[in-house]
Amino acid sequence: MKLLPNSAVRMLRLRHAAVFLLALVAGLQLATAQAPERFEKDILAFEAADKTNPPPKDAVLFVGASNTRRWTTLAADFRGWKVVNRGFGGSQLGDALHFAERIVIPAAPKTIYVQSGGNDINAGKPPEQVLADFKAFVAKVRAALPETKIHFIALPPSPVRWSLREKQREANRLVEAFIREDGKVNFVDIFPHMLGDDGKPRPELYVSDNLHLSAKGYALWTSLIRWDTALKNFEKEARTNPPPADPVLFIGSSSIVRWKSLAQDFTGLPVVNRGFGGSLLADSANLAHHLTLPLRPGRIVVYAGSNDINAGRTPEQVLASFQSFVEKVHAKQPETRITFISITPAPSRWKQAGEIKTANRLIEDFCRNNTKLAFINAFAKFLGDDGQPREELFVEDRLHLSPAGYAIWQPLVAKALDR
């Protein structure tokens, strides 16, 4: 064997030393970049804000990375919830775990939504580490706040990180399996709802960086989080009692939910009830891809909008939500006939009658221009000779319909469905 000259040996040793030093420096840089201390400024800002404006009692706290931090409409989107935003951009699950004693536990929230893990996978951590950090987070919170409900928002897909999708899915699968076994934590599976018919992320849900959510993305998340239980109940019902082919779908808010005589009122029609109480018309639009379209309904009856007006949305926004719903349905099923029942003048919301009338007029005008749309103008039928709402048409809460109220709707809807 031929030996190398001493100079060549020294050169080889120097090269090896250089490579080692570069690897060491890179490792130190990576460790520094991932050290929780890099968020100290953000954490101090949260603590300072809490001193001047303490979190409300029984708050709903969102903790996570940049999609949480950038959720500037969080309070408006979850009107009625006492929300606290604890998002800090670029963070990983280990960071939420590390700072839980400072920005999560002191707030003593009633509910926690964890939105984190995507940056972990992007940084090269395995799905098993995402699970381990979430389990540690749950244990830490549960030790201090045993009554607090914890929800995990699934790692979302994104166009820019699409190559990581299988690792994201695996992380979601591991966390969901742990949650199922634990029984006290909830998993909000947003991943499939963010995919289009091609199985890839829907572009409209992201801003130009193809990573962070757009306004439409946040609107979808809001509906998925708010109505997670209802969606799971619908899925469970569909497994035990599969919906009929070519159904007549009734969708909307609590007046649809409470229409218990629906099947009897429309004997012979394959009716399916997809009402979810308290929902906005915007929710029906946001969830159309996975709540309406899979059923392939030939006819749809929509009643919603009252809650939108009550939540401070304008009549123009109510119209836009209905237009969005129609657009999504007709893009895939152009022959589907959609009927909108006018928003009722409930006694408890009579102060909003002006906005309700305007919303009804806008939607009626929109329906007039499309032969696949119909508008049922029942507003006047709910008023007495004095021009005030007829109390007997509503139950004690003066908001939801009594049997007499549904008796007014039934023939009008039947006529619309027969056209």
Give the tens place of pLDDT for each residue, 304-327: 999 999 999 999 999 999 999 999
Sheet holding 185-188, edge to edge: 83-87, 60-64, 111-115, 149-153, 185-188
What confidence score (pLDDT) does residue 16 get? Answer: 54
User: CA–CA separation, 226 vs 243, rounded Å?
Assistant: 24
Task: Write the burial class of residue 290 (CB in 10 Å: 0-12 exposed, 13-18 middle, 19+ buried).
Answer: middle
The CA–CA distances, whole Å, from 207 to 150, 175, 211, 212, 216 equal 28, 27, 7, 6, 10
What confidence score (pLDDT) does residue 10 get? Answer: 59
Tell me the domains of the chain and their CATH numbers. 38-226 (3.40.50.1110), 239-418 (3.40.50.1110)
- What is the number of other CB atoms lying within 10 angstroms of the CB of residue 35? 13
What confidence score (pLDDT) does residue 36 get? Answer: 77
pTM, 2 dp? 0.88
DSSP string covering 4-17, please? PPHHHHHHHHHHHH
3-state secondary structure of 37: helix
What confidence score (pLDDT) does residue 419 get? Answer: 78
What confidence score (pLDDT) does residue 13 get? Answer: 58
What confidence score (pLDDT) does residue 35 get? Answer: 75
User: CA–CA separation, 250 vs 399, rounded Å?
Assistant: 19
63, β-bridge pairs: 86, 114
User: CA–CA separation, 416 vs 419, rounded Å?
Assistant: 5
- What is the number of other CB atoms lying within 10 angstroms of the CB of residue 116? 28
The CA–CA distances, whole Å, from 208 to 118, 159, 200, 203 equal 18, 10, 16, 9
What confidence score (pLDDT) does residue 290 get? Answer: 86
Question: Which of 329, 71, 84 lies closest to 207, judged by CA?
Answer: 71
Average pLDDT for consecutive 10-residue bins of the chain (419 residues)?
Answer: 53 51 40 71 96 95 97 94 96 97 97 98 98 98 98 98 98 98 96 94 97 97 96 93 95 96 96 95 95 95 97 96 97 97 97 98 96 97 96 97 97 94
274, β-bridge pairs: 251
What confidence score (pLDDT) does residue 383 get? Answer: 97
User: CA–CA separation, 199 vs 346, rounded Å?
Assistant: 43
61, β-bridge pairs: 84, 112
DSSP string covering 355-405, please? HHHHHHHHHHHHHHT-TTEEEE--GGGGB-TTSSB-GGGB-TTSSSBPHHH
What confidence score (pLDDT) does residue 52 get? Answer: 95
